[in-house]
Structure 1
Amino acid sequence: MSNVVKPADRYAGLDTRFWADIVHMAEVNKAINLGMGMPDFNAQPQSIMDAMCDVLVDGHYSLHQYTKSSGHPRLVKVLAKLYSHLLNNEVKDDNILITLGAYQAIHCALYGLINHGDEVIIIDPAYDAYATITRAAGGVPVHTALKRTDTYRNENNNDITGADALMPGMYERTVTIGSLGKAFNVTGWRCGWAITGHPGIRHALSLAHVVSVYCCPTPIQEAAARVFEIELDKLQLNHVDCMYWTQLCALMGKKRTLMYDMLTDMGLKPMMPEGSYYMVADCQALIDRLDLTAYYDKRGKTFEFVRWLSARGVQAVPLTVFYSTDNKQLGEGITNELGANKGFYLGR
């Protein structure tokens, strides 16, 4: 009898090691990690910390037990009000599913709607999980790539409002996914949501959710609901300048400008982000001047440059990982920097 245990066939050929490699590379080189989508300073609002403390210390016993599979009612209600405003549509409670982060919302959407052999169109550059989860669900990723100039714009124009759902007739044909981690800079809390105007789509996502995690942590959802209520009250009173996101944009805007200027002074060609803290930079001119022999990587010159950069104390991400094999040449020479959400750029 063999002692070898292999993953199920549906996971054959899937490679999920990239992000672990980036973390390991940064740790070995003691590099400042610009490769992870999270801040390295206290960017979360005090209100969400206070809300969590109140729930844990003074919360009703029910807040420490299971909640509804579709989502904690208080959080669902406030999200319905907020997204009714954002999507310019009536979002009802039963249009919302609370998930274990935005990642699980993507998982539920693909597992809930894809049958074996279904083709899924993915526009490169794309979050690498789209293709990975599609294959695991039995689907077939079909990649198409934007032109390089459009790529920069698309990569950085990343808002949380669900812009596609704002188009006429699209609310019932789309799934708008959001994340508490990115909304309030608490990525470790793992709370997200999926919103759709189509009851059949919502039901499909719910089935995938129930058979995976069933429900999400109640205390986190309760704390999230309380802080969303605070921000929604400010919006309804037209106190927009006092909202967390308004103040965060001002802070991140300064960091974005400083990062852009620094990369430009280095001779790189960064693209100014329009709605994300990711900054894409064309590093080809620098790569062409370097001897990267000692940093050989079979995945290409951009990976070699990332290794060279990490050895000098800065960890970036090669943009090629967000392209399919056939389109990787479009990402060569370009790196993804996350400097706008790192505290050290403005000094500590």
Structure 2
Amino acid sequence: MVILVGTASKRVRCFQTISSFLFNKNNRFSASAPTAIDTNCAADKFVMDKFKLPSRHEAGVYSVWIEFSQLAVTTKCLNLGQGFPDYDPPSRFSDYLAQVATEKNSFFNQYTRGFGHARLVKALADLYSKLIDRKIDPMNEIMVTVGAYEALYCAIQGNIEVGDEAIIIEPFYDCYEPMVRTAGGIPRFIPLRNTKPNASTSHSSDWKLDPDELASLFNSKTKLIIINTPHNPLGKIFDYDELTMIANLAKKHNVLVISDEVYEWLVYKPTQHIRIATLPEMWQRTITIGSAGKTFSMTGWKLGWAYGPSYLMKNLCVVHQTAIYTCATTVQEAAARGFEHEIALLGTPNSYFQTLSDELQPKMNYLFKILQDGGFKPIMPEGGYFMIADWTNFG
């Protein structure tokens, strides 16, 4: 379980404040961080002026992960902000990887199919066909990527034209905004608002979108909306009514939905995760993002995917083949074997899809109590492995 300390409504602004601390007005590192290039030399400056970062990438200059990691080092504090577990994935995955790497099959050491290793996309199609009650074509409706991060990148780059607008819900995973801007798009922000600010105990379900405020953002320039459920960092899971509201607006304005569902198996009872692609007429306009790293607690494998109708997936495939081409064959083969194992256990108490959230829920409750006892105002999440805590009592 990871904690980001601070009020949720100020998360993005907080990151910007930290950015200004680490960088001066000339976009060079301040004295508190290492300087990569000496710009005092006139010749160096001449070269740098010509080969400076293209303006389309300026939105990605500041990375919250780099900045907070640097702050943790310089201040010698414990960094609880980055989302990955400190325990091993199920041992069978490392066993599968070792088997694949040592088997007498030379093809496992060569390039595999660019849009996804055949065995893996078949396993993913088998899984999601069951989950969304729709037959998914593994060769045309699923693409494997270098982590969910690349899937998001391909979905945004493959659909945004210069001047298109993309609706982003605050607080948000930090890559959404720079990815939209890099594609030439214009991000339009809408916050989740606390509907029970005076409640003694705060729950992620208390944070909601204002329907009128959301509707006002949709117009003829709106190309897509990004939703994240279970949500990072609030831990909110959008319920059926909230997803229906978003779906109705998307259908009314002919807007694409990118649904970031990397925490789909980190859902705490009694809440249930609803995939927006299962709502009426939403498969046709939804790209759903998933992650093996989040699903099986192995983020270092950097394996993700996107699925959706073939006419939407075509755009992602074009971006993927010109940027990445293909993902590691050995990792995909090992992951495929792991998915096949889990599909056979789907719906049983022995499935890792079930046991992971069962293991994390008591830890979540324990952390919540510790923070409350310490004077913080934590928000009880419905899913994911983040917990936001309001520290204004100490301010």
Same fold per superposition (TM over 0.5): yes
The alpha carbon displacement at 1:103 in A equals: 0.4
Unaligned runs of 5+ in 2: 1-42, 197-202, 206-230, 238-262, 265-272
The alpha carbon displacement at 1:16 in A equals: 2.6
Q: Does 1:165 align with 2:277?
A: yes
The equivalent position to 1:28 in structure 2, one of 74, 87, 92, is 74
The equivalent position to 1:53 in structure 2, one of 74, 83, 98, is 98
Alignment check: 8 A CA contact 1:96 1:202 kept: yes
Residues 13/170 of structure 1: CA separation in 2 closer, same or farther (3 Å cut): closer
Partner of 2:378: 270
Partner of 2:154: 108
1:75-94 matches, within 5 Å, as 75-93=120-138, 94=140
Unaligned runs of 5+ in 1: 288-348
Partner of 1:180: 292
Alignment check: 8 A CA contact 2:163 2:184 kept: yes
Alignment check: 8 A CA contact 2:64 2:174 kept: no
The equivalent position to 2:333 in structure 1, one of 206, 218, 222, is 222
Q: Does 1:117 align with 2:163?
A: yes
Residues 13/252 of structure 1: CA separation in 2 closer, same or farther (3 Å cut): closer
Q: Does 1:133 align with 2:212?
A: no
Partner of 1:73: 118
Matched residue of 1:175: which SS?
strand
Q: Does 1:3 align with 2:40?
A: no
The alpha carbon displacement at 1:167 in A equals: 0.8
Q: Which one is further off, 87-96 or 47-56?
A: 87-96
Between Structure 1 and Structure 2, the one with more helix by share is 1
Distance 1:32 1:89 in 2: 45
The alpha carbon displacement at 1:32 in A equals: 2.9
Distance 2:117 2:60 in 1: 34
Distance 1:284 1:33 in 2: 20
Deviations, residues 237-288 of structure 1 (Å, cap 9, x unaligned) = x5x111112221121112101100100101111111111111111111122x
Distance 1:53 1:108 in 2: 30
The alpha carbon displacement at 1:59 in A equals: 5.1
The equivalent position to 1:41 in structure 2, one of 87, 90, 94, is 87
Matched residue of 2:169: which SS?
strand
Partner of 1:156: 235
Q: Which amino acid aligns with 1:147?
A: R
The alpha carbon displacement at 1:8 in A equals: 1.4
Q: Which amino acid aligns with 1:220?
A: V
The equivalent position to 1:232 in structure 2, one of 343, 346, 350, is 343
1:181-260 matches, within 5 Å, as 181-197=293-309, 199-235=310-346, 238=347, 240-260=348-368
Distance 1:48 1:166 in 2: 30
- TM-score using structure 2 length: 0.68
Matched residue of 2:317: which SS?
helix
The equivalent position to 1:63 in structure 2, one of 101, 108, 113, is 108
Matched residue of 1:121: which SS?
strand
- TM-score using structure 1 length: 0.77
Q: Which amino acid aligns with 2:377?
A: K
Q: Which amino acid aligns with 2:380?
A: M
Partner of 1:280: 388
The equivalent position to 1:17 in structure 2, one of 46, 63, 69, is 63
Partner of 1:95: 141
Partner of 1:336: none
Q: Which one is further off, 130-139 or 163-172?
A: 163-172
Alignment check: 8 A CA contact 1:162 1:177 kept: no
Q: Which amino acid aligns with 1:166?
A: T
Distance 1:260 1:113 in 2: 40
Distance 1:28 1:251 in 2: 34
Alignment check: 8 A CA contact 2:288 2:306 kept: yes
Alignment check: 8 A CA contact 1:87 1:162 kept: no
Q: Which amino acid aligns with 1:140?
A: I
Alignment check: 8 A CA contact 2:293 2:299 kept: yes
The alpha carbon displacement at 1:195 in A equals: 0.4
Partner of 1:338: none
Matched residue of 1:143: which SS?
strand
Deviations, residues 40-85 of structure 1 (Å, cap 9, x unaligned) = 222x111111111111112511011111111000000000010111
Alignment check: 8 A CA contact 1:271 1:279 kept: yes
The alpha carbon displacement at 1:130 in A equals: 0.8
Alignment check: 8 A CA contact 1:263 1:270 kept: yes
Identity of aligned residues (%): 37
Q: Which amino acid aligns with 1:207?
A: V
The alpha carbon displacement at 1:229 in A equals: 0.4
After superposition, the CA RMSD in angstroms is: 1.7
The alpha carbon displacement at 1:169 in A equals: 1.1
Residues 13/71 of structure 1: CA separation in 2 closer, same or farther (3 Å cut): closer
